[in-house]
Amino acid sequence: MIDSVLRGVGVVVAVWGAIVVALYGAFLTPLRWGAALVPIALILAVLGNLLLIRYAYEVSGNRWLALVPGGIWLVISFTAAGRTTEGDLILLQSNWVATVYLFAGAGTIAVAAYRLMSRPPAASQDRGAQDRGTQDRGDHDP
């Protein structure tokens, strides 16, 4: 029971992390140092998504739940690329950092999803043995 609650709390923390990464990244795309754009949002999108997906997988142990932060990031980021009814726009199309931010973040999520889904499923007893630092090789007496 407590294990399930802790897993759920871990996934909620990962979702909140995705919300923070998506919003900070979107608002950092127009960051300038003098006249030059500073692409700090790109680093945030790539590293933030990788770490959040990895964290969600570690706490939940579920491949599908591990992709939830990436989905949240995608929804928020692509919503920020559209105009509101008042005409406000967070991710400007004329800003190269904003365009690359969307592609880099989405590409990172796609690669992470592919890597998660393409690995063979780990048996629950083998994962427990790995957590203890031992490995059951099957060469012991029954």
Task: Name the pLDDT band for 133 (thresholds 50, 70, 90).
Answer: low
**Domain count across the chain:** 1
Q: pLDDT: is 55 or 140 the higher one?
A: 55
Is 135 a residue whose pLDDT tops 60?
Answer: no
List for the chain the helix, strand, coil content (%; round to 5). Answer: 70, 5, 30
Q: pLDDT: is 1 or 112 the higher one?
A: 112
pLDDT digits (tens, 9 = 90+) for 72-102: 999 999 998 888 888 888 888 788 999 999 9
Separation in Å, CA 97 to CA 6, 20, 24, 43: 37, 18, 14, 11
Q: Is residue 74 part of a domain?
A: yes
Q: Is residue 45 part of a domain?
A: yes
Q: Is residue 130 part of a domain?
A: no
Q: Is residue 132 part of a domain?
A: no
pLDDT attached to residue 95? 87
pLDDT attached to residue 49? 96
What is the arithmetic mean of pLDDT over 14-37?
Answer: 92
Is 129 a residue whose pLDDT tops 50?
Answer: no
Q: Is residue 140 part of a domain?
A: no
HEC assignment per residue over 35-83: CEECCHHHHHHHHHHHHHHHHHHHHHCCHHHHCHHHHHHHHHHHHHCCC
Q: Is residue 139 part of a domain?
A: no
Domain membership of residue 95 as a residue range: 2-118
Q: Is residue 137 part of a domain?
A: no
Q: Is residue 85 part of a domain?
A: yes
Separation in Å, CA 38 to CA 3, 34, 62, 76, 130: 42, 9, 36, 22, 43
pLDDT digits (tens, 9 = 90+) for 38-55: 999 999 999 999 999 999
pLDDT attached to residue 126? 45
What's this model's pTM, rounded to 2 decimal places? 0.79
Kindly report the number of other CB atoms within 10 A of residue 113's CB atom: 17
What is the arithmetic mean of pLDDT over 117-136?
Answer: 58
